[in-house]
Amino acid sequence: MSSSLFCFVKVGSFCVCKIKDVRNGSGNTIMQILIYNNHHMEVNLESRDDMLCGPPTTTCQESIRPFIESFEETPMLVAVLTYMGYGILTIFGYLRDFLRDWKIERCHIAREREEQRDFVPLYQDFENFYTRNLYMRIRDSWNRPICSVPGAKMDLVERVSPDYNWTFDYTGKVVEGVINMGSYNYLGFAENTGYCADASAEVTMKYGVGVASTRQEMGNLDRHEEMEELVAKFLGVESAMAFGMGFATNSMNIPALTGKGCLILSDELNHASLVLGARLSGSTIRVFKHNNMQSLEKMLRDAIVHGQPRTHRPWKKILILVEGIYSMEGSIVRLPEVIALKKRYRAYLYLDEAHSIGALGPGGRGVVDYFGLDPRDVDVMMGTFTKSFGAAGGYIGGRKELMEYLRSHSHSAVYAASMSPPVVEQIIASMKCIMGEDGTTLGRDRVQQLAENTLYFRRKLTEMGFIIYGNNDSPVVPMMLYMPAKIGAFGREMLKRNIGVVVVGFPATPIIESRARFCISAAHTKDMLDTVTIPPMLGTKWLPFSHQRHKQPVPPLSSLSSP
């Protein structure tokens, strides 16, 4: 990091602010920080005067730690070696396919029988090339069976493979006390003891496990009604409704909101559920660069000026799809700027808070709370109960008219079975904890503990020299591995040390950006985080190319303000 550039910018008619552009030794911008009064948030220097965030809220007068995100460019040597690694794997893959065709090597993959060769093939053989020749080498790093509560520590069923990961045999042994760094248990509510577990057990005895009907028929319980009222109160919106599956909340509700003649502007790193929902809607889809306000504004401007293709008629609706926290990058949406653009061009905003609800903001109310914004500025607030709440399902919140429309037009509301009563009670109990309605400070303490654990863990990794992506306040911490051989090696070596991690590679990430993804929890203790970040644990000796070239600045723990 060699230079910093400050300049003054007028934010609309609101106030004068300054932008700090932090650059590395190569002159590349690593991060941007917008500072007005004592309020910090990220901006881009190319943003014009009047397209930045809305008027300062009361939080502007408070001391809030900087909104800093880091995405360091892949080192050239690492990129070259990564491509070479994939190239070598591809060459050996073709060689092994040749040996399989000539019956020299045993073939484990499913194939059509000889008498079916003249039929239309069920799949193209090349489509399975990556699966059988690359994925199978590291398949043991995924789908590990767990035989305990996925809390801060967990127990795994031990398994071995006699045929290089094509099949697995269970040894009957259990690997106990594995530090869980992969589950989305942000607030530690995935537990089998305590207030939430006791409440769920009591409801199970009264209502049973299943409802055996849809909400519109005989499956609408009083607990469902109470849950939705509580969700609306928690979000600060007029009304809310819940669904039994988080993925279906996106994929089945977006088609009910938009259709032919509508335009969807989607962030390039949006989750698969958002992508599927957009495709099922029949709307025109255009993708803007990740968290890039210039790209989004250009698409909005073009949509207004040119209208629909060929006819040039105005679009019926323009819907912007973004996420609160992006689960692979650890980045946080630049929501103030998105809302400003949405208002200027009169578009609608759909915010997916699957990872941010409960995990961000002084009150755990997500990215809207994190920025101190008005929930009414977001047209559709979506989130899931599977992460911070330790339950299952998803929700949508917004205006009462919108909820009434979805109740009769959403496939997931009309045709899906009702949520299980103990799951509903888990949601109610955990949400009351976060809101403080259980008569304790347990929820508030967990939100604060998660923020402290996140900052502490990110600072430790940065000080060790690893390249980590995302926002300093994001509990999703991607650590770059790059090379394909490191994906499996890192996962196996960490498990040998009783640490469970999630490793991710192509096609879930760009081909040269394989990574390990840590998910921080309020249930993690400082000793656990220290154990994970001990140099021999992270394998610094056999991960020589994961060290960053330029140190990323991380604020000290003393900068962490109380919510």
Model confidence at 32: pLDDT above 60: no
If you count them, how many residues does the chain have?
A: 563
400 included as an active-site residue: no
Rounded CA separation 39/42 (Å): 10
Among 407, 435, 463, the domain boundary falls at 435
Euclidean distance between CA atoms 149 and 197, whole angstroms: 12
Q: How far is residue 201's CA from residue 527's CA, in Å, rounded to a whole number?
A: 32
Residue 361's region, left for phi above 0, alpha for psi from -120 to 50, else beta, is left
pLDDT tens digit sequence for 42-60: 434 333 333 333 333 333 3
Look up tokens 């347990």; give the residue.
442
Tens-digit pLDDT profile for residues 283-310: 999 999 999 999 999 999 999 999 999 9
Integer Cα distance of 60 and 476 in angstroms: 26
Q: What's the Cα-to-Cα distance from 298 to each of 12, 348, 356, 398, rounded to whole Å?
A: 19, 16, 27, 27
Domain boundary (435, 459, 489) is at 435
**Structure confidence at residue 103 as a pLDDT band (50, 70, 90):** confident
Q: Within 10 Å of residue 142's Cβ, how many Cβ atoms?
A: 13
Residue 550 included in any domain: no
Residue 461 pLDDT exceeds 60: yes
The CATH code of the domain that includes 486 is 3.90.1150.10
CA distances, 173 to each of 146, 148, 181 (Å): 12, 14, 22
pLDDT at residue number 559? 47
Q: Which residue has the higher pLDDT, 29 or 550?
A: 550
409 assigned to active site: no
Q: Closest Cα to residue 550, out of 67, 26, 82, 66? A: 26
Q: What are phi and psi of 417, to 5 degrees?
A: -70, 155
Which CATH number fits the domain that encloses residue 324? 3.40.640.10
Instruction: Examine the domain organization and report whether 304 and 408 are in the same domain.
Output: yes
Structure confidence at residue 74 (pLDDT):
84
Terminus-to-terminus CA distance in the chain, angstroms? 31
Work out the angle at residue 21's Cα, subtended by the Cα atoms of residues 378 and 363, and round it to the nearest 5 degrees. 35
Active site residue 295: no
Question: CA geometry: angle at 506 spanning 384 and 335, to 5°?
Answer: 40
Q: Is the pLDDT of residue 410 over 90?
A: yes
> Which residue, 181, 106, 141, is CA-closest to 460?
181
Nearest CA among 287, 294, 291, 267 for reference residue 45? 294
Is 4 inside any structural domain?
no
Is residue 420 domain-shared with residue 354, that is, in the same domain?
yes
- Among 141, 273, 327, 410, which one carries the catalytic annotation? 327
DSSP 483-521: SHHHHHHHHHHHHHTTEE-EEE-TTTS-TT-EEEEEE--
Same-domain pairing of 328 and 420: yes
Using DSSP bridges, classify how beta strands 380-384 and 169-180 pair: parallel, antiparallel or unpaired. unpaired
Measured distance CA(94)–CA(92) in Å, rounded: 5
Range of the domain at 423: 195-435
382, 401, 435: which is the final residue of a domain?
A: 435
- Pick the catalytic residue: 40, 271, 355, 486? 355
Quick check: 25 pLDDT over 60? no
- Quick one: 133 and 238 in the same domain? no
Among the residue ranges 81-85, 118-122, 194-198, 507-511, the one predicted with the least confidence is 118-122
Chain CA centroid to CA 468, Å: 15
Print burial letters for 160-198: b (CB count within 10 Å at least 16), e (below 16). Answer: eeeeebeebeeeeeebeebbbbbbbbbbbbbbeeebbbe
| Residues 495, 512: Cα–Cα separation, whole Å | 24
Is there a single domain that holds both residue 175 and residue 210?
Answer: no
| Residue 552 placed within a domain | no
**Is 41 part of a structural domain of the chain?**
no
User: Measuring CA to CA, how many Å separate 407 from each of 219, 253, 425?
Assistant: 14, 10, 21
Could you tell me if 341 and 486 lie in one domain? no
Cα gap 544→75, rounded to integer Å: 12
Residue 251 lies in a domain: yes
In this predicted model, what pLDDT tens digit does every residue of 112-153 receive, in sequence order? 777 777 777 776 666 688 888 889 999 999 999 999 999 999
Query: Among 25-39, 115-129, 220-234, 235-249, where is mean pLDDT lowest?
Result: 25-39
Tell me the whole-structure pTM to 2 decimals: 0.85
Closest to 335 measured CA to CA, from 365, 306, 305: 365
- Give a yes or no: residue 525 inside a domain: yes
* Count of the separate structural domains present in the chain: 2
Which long-range contacts does 145-150 make (Cβ < 8 Å, 24+ apart)? Answer: 145/170, 147/174, 149/190, 149/191, 149/192, 150/180, 150/183, 150/185, 150/190
Question: Any idea what the Cα angle at residue 536 is, between residues 532 and 540, rounded to 5°?
Answer: 100
Q: Same structural domain for residues 383 and 450?
A: no
Do 391 and 291 sit in the same domain of this protein?
Answer: yes
Q: Are residues 287 and 398 in the same domain?
A: yes
Q: Is residue 222 located within the same domain as residue 238? A: yes
Same domain, 238 and 253: yes
What CA–CA distance (Å, rounded) separates 498 from 479? 19
46 within a domain of the structure (yes/no): no
**370 pLDDT more than 90:** yes
User: CA 449, CA 524: separation in Å to the nearest integer?
Assistant: 9
Same-domain pairing of 343 and 249: yes
Say if 366 falls within a structural domain.
Answer: yes
Residue from 40, 387, 486, 524 carrying the catalytic annotation:
387
- DSSP per residue over 91-138, as a string? HHHHHHHHHHHTTSS---S----GGGTTSPPSS-GGGGHHHHHTGGGG
